[in-house]
Amino acid sequence: MEKEPKEMKPIWYFVGLMLSAMGAVVVIAGVANYLSPPARETVLSRLHPELWWGVVMIVAGLVFFFSNRRSETE
């Protein structure tokens, strides 16, 4: 009747969560900059790099999250 101790989650699980959350913040900032562009344009501002990098961060975070989560039944 002893309970088995729960296995700890790997660090990459939490890295995926944080990377996804930070990517969402970057995307939100990119959308805000897209809707009201700053007065001074930078060289590559027309490409909207904050949107691209935010999406890359979210995708990488989700890959880390889903590849490192373990089911509770294992």
- For residue 57, the enclosing domain spans 11-68
Residue whose token pair is 């309970």: 3
Please report whether residue 24 resides in a domain: yes
Please report whether residue 46 resides in a domain: yes
Q: Report the alpha-carbon distance of residue 42 to residue 57 in Å, rounded.
A: 22
pLDDT in tens, the chain (74 residues): 677 777 788 899 999 999 999 999 999 999 999 999 888 888 888 899 999 999 999 999 999 999 987 654 44
| Other CB atoms within 10 Å distance of the CB of residue 19 | 21
Please report whether residue 4 resides in a domain: no
Please report whether residue 16 resides in a domain: yes
| Whole-Å CA distances, 16 to 12, 28, 64, 68 | 6, 18, 5, 9
Does the global pTM surpass 0.85?
Answer: no
Total structural domains in the chain?
Answer: 1
Please report whether residue 21 resides in a domain: yes
